[in-house]
A and B are shown apart, each in its own frame.
Chain A
Amino acid sequence: MSGAGASSQGVRAKLARTPTLRSRYERFVKLVLFSAAAISVLTTIAIIFSLIRETITFFGEVPVADFLFGDKWTPLLNGDQQSFGVLPLIWGTLYLSFIGLAVAIPLGLLSAIYLSEYAKPRARKTIKPVLELLAGVPTVVFGFFALTFFTPEVLKNFVGLDIGTFNALSAGIVLGFLVMPTIASVAEDAMTAVPRSLREGAFGLGANRRQVSLRVVFPAALSGIVAALVLGASRAIGETVIILIAGGTVARLGVDPQQGYQSMAAYIAFVSRGDAPTGSVEFLTLFAVGLTLFVITLALNLVSIRLVNKYRQVYD
């Protein structure tokens, strides 16, 4: 008995040591698939590399402190007028995102609660595709809408604001409609993942639907809901074309929503279309601003990924 066991172990060891054609082929396939997976990591490395390479050149000509703490962003002007303080661009980005999120968060969360806790299957089946359609509208279409309809027809004629062609209010609100489906969809996923038993327990204690939704399901799904908000913020901060078309081209430190503001992403696209010669300091600003934008969105994304993975672990 023991001898047979030993010899079969020996055979197995031998099989493992001498790879057959087939097992070599299997290993080769695995290697090919792994290489494909590695491309996504290489993409990240390439992004960081291309941003940092040119940013270093940029900081060879503009001091880091002037860039980070300067409060005047006029890289495309000449001589004494030229200034490379990035703060107005960061402020414009945050301010426009703030307006967008002020629209998107209430709309998105209320829609998510409705879809997850209130809607009958039939209502869900009609509302979800509408939200998906809204999510699928290209951003250039939103920008066009903000510039040619929302600003002149809604804000100027209907509300009666004395507002410029390019302004933060219109760009920000339309940005909110872009972000709203993202928030609604991630928050709804998180609330749907809350186990039914929690709801039934609360209903059993005599709670009504609103109390179950707001005091049981909402807190239980909180990490996923925060993830939705962070992801929404990340999308708002990175959005380019709406602001490029409807937000104006002046980087401004201010709080008047009737004026135009520029965001980091919009600046990047704007300068790449302008006539700054490749390799000039004006052109290199594109990479320094890009790196700033990438770092900010990366931080937000990592927070949101952590939170999403957390709620998946809790209830799966």
Chain B
Amino acid sequence: MANGATIAAKSIAAAGIGRPPRSSRRADIIFKAIMFGALAISVLALGLLLYEIVKDGAGAVTPEFFTNQPSKVRPQTAGAQSAIYGTLWLMAITAVIVIPIGVATAVYLEEYADRTKWWNRLIEVNIQNLAAVPSVVYGILGLAFFVRSPLSLGNVILAGGMTLALLVLPVVIIVAREAIRSVPPSIREGSLALGATQWQTIAKQVLPASIPGIATGVILALSRAIGETAPLLLIGAATSPRFNPDGLDSAFTALPVQIYTWSTDADRDNFLPLASAAILVLMAVLLIMNSIAIYLRNRYEQKW
């Protein structure tokens, strides 16, 4: 006589799940080992990369590296001053452009947009797509639109900054939207009930409450911008200029471009320590920016 328990046991066995036999237990261990292996390979690759760069570059990060100008012929006395200045300039230009546009777009999409309207859905899908357009395509946009007609700026740092701003705009929008969305509706309702208009509610309640999240997004976006090489190559960044940018219409280079120039030089082996040193400086800046972003996220994350 089959009672309920044996029927259940049979159907569980038929479904292929249930008390694992010994072979299944072994499969468990193997599966766990494979997962650990996968993670270990990734972590090992990162470790190896950092180790190699520190080994080759640490000795070359000297005061002269920051004060001397790049050179394509004399690795002994070359530095990266113009590249470091260029990166700082680009960061500033990008931030000035991307913060207002990104935050305004996020506010519009979260607080005003009616999602049943086709143009608002178009904007959303468009931003999702722009986030995954290859950076070299942004470079073509910058080259065709900013460097040449209609804006005809030439190969200047402003064109580079504008291109990078468009490139990282989706990052700012996506993160800022999440920050705005996490402000609970009760805050808005309270403000509206006290007679504030919609914009007053946003400007005085919603935005202040979402600043840490927005700041995190901006920092992440800027750290992506200063690591980009391909768009700047297209814009026409100078190779190893011996002057710092002195205005928006100045020729420029940046750390990633300088790293590229040195590592593709015919005399590459002699420039290896310099390229490694430039990578170390760039990675240090990125690490600091990411740490600030993580700190902001943990410190100011509001629990409503």
Q: Which of B34, B134, B264, B287 has the most CB of A within 10 A?
A: B134
**Total interface residues in chain B, CB < 8 Å:** 91
Q: How far does the Cβ of A16 sit from chain B's closest Cβ, in whole Å?
A: 15
* Interface status of A310 (Cβ within 8 A of chain B): no
CA–CA, A211 and B75, complex, Å: 58
Q: Which of B234-282 contact A (CB under 8 A)?
A: 234, 236, 256, 259-260, 263-264, 268, 272, 275-276, 279, 282
* Interface status of B123 (Cβ within 8 A of chain A): yes
Specify which of B15, B36, B126, B136 is in contact with A205 (CB 8 Å cutoff): B15
Specify which of B17, B107, B140 is in contact with A268 (CB 8 Å cutoff): B140
> Is the CB–CB distance between A215 and B290 below 8 Å?
no
Q: Which of A131-165 contact B (CB under 8 A)?
A: 131-134, 136-145, 147-149
CA–CA, A132 and B42, complex, Å: 11
> Is the CB–CB distance between B134 and A245 below 8 Å?
no
Find the B residue at minimum CB distance from A173: B45
Specify which of B128, B166, B272, B290 is in contact with A43 (CB 8 Å cutoff): B166
Find the A residue at minimum CB distance from B15: A205
> Is the CB–CB distance between A36 and B104 below 8 Å?
yes
- Give the segment of A69-77, A189-197, A251-259, A297-305 that binds chain B: A297-305
**Within 8 Å CB of B127, what residues of A?**
40
Find the B residue at minimum CB distance from A308: B128
Q: How far does the Cβ of A46 sit from chain B's closest Cβ, in whole Å?
A: 5
Q: How far does the Cβ of A129 sit from chain B's closest Cβ, in whole Å?
A: 7
Q: Which of B139-198 contact A (CB under 8 A)?
A: 139-141, 143-145, 148, 166, 169-170, 173, 197-198
* Interface status of B88 (Cβ within 8 A of chain A): no
**Within 8 Å CB of B169, what residues of A?**
39-40, 43
Interface bits B201-243 vs A (CB < 8 Å: 1, else 0): 0000000000000000000000110011110011010000000
Q: How far does the Cβ of A294 sit from chain B's closest Cβ, in whole Å?
A: 5
> Is the CB–CB distance between A237 and B134 below 8 Å?
yes
CA–CA, A33 and B105, complex, Å: 6
**Total interface residues in chain A, CB < 8 Å:** 91
- Give the segment of A2-10, A80-88, A105-113 that binds chain B: A105-113
> Is the CB–CB distance between B132 and A301 below 8 Å?
yes
Q: How far does the Cβ of A19 sit from chain B's closest Cβ, in whole Å?
A: 13
Q: How far does the Cβ of B36 sit from chain A's closest Cβ, in whole Å?
A: 8
**Within 8 Å CB of A22, what residues of B?**
197
* Interface status of B108 (Cβ within 8 A of chain A): yes
* Interface status of B91 (Cβ within 8 A of chain A): no
**Within 8 Å CB of A235, what residues of B?**
132
Query: Knowing A137-B283, A149-B52, A205-B12 touch, does A144 contact B263 (C-beta < 8 A)?
Result: yes
**Within 8 Å CB of B18, what residues of A?**
205-207
> Is the CB–CB distance between B126 and A240 below 8 Å?
no
> Is the CB–CB distance between A107 and B234 below 8 Å?
no
Q: How far does the Cβ of A58 sit from chain B's closest Cβ, in whole Å?
A: 13
CB < 8 Å A-B pair total? 261
Interface SS of chain B? helix
* Interface status of A282 (Cβ within 8 A of chain B): no
CA–CA, A300 and B214, complex, Å: 29
* Interface status of A44 (Cβ within 8 A of chain B): yes
> Is the CB–CB distance between A110 and B35 below 8 Å?
yes
Q: Which of B94-124 contact A (CB under 8 A)?
A: 100-101, 104-105, 107-109, 112-113, 122-123
Find the B residue at minimum CB distance from A54: B144
**Within 8 Å CB of A297, what residues of B?**
132-134, 137
* Interface status of B125 (Cβ within 8 A of chain A): yes
Interface bits A27-48 vs B (CB < 8 Å: 1, else 0): 0011011101111110110110
> Is the CB–CB distance between B228 and A138 below 8 Å?
yes
Query: Knowing A25-B199, A148-B272 touch, does A141 contact B49 (C-beta < 8 A)?
Result: yes
Specify which of B139, B143, B263 is in contact with A143 (CB 8 Å cutoff): B263
> Is the CB–CB distance between A43 and B130 below 8 Å?
yes
* Interface status of B28 (Cβ within 8 A of chain A): yes
Find the B residue at minimum CB distance from A239: B134
**Within 8 Å CB of A142, what residues of B?**
49
CA–CA, A107 and B32, complex, Å: 13
Interface bits B6-49 vs A (CB < 8 Å: 1, else 0): 00000010011111100010011001101111110111011011
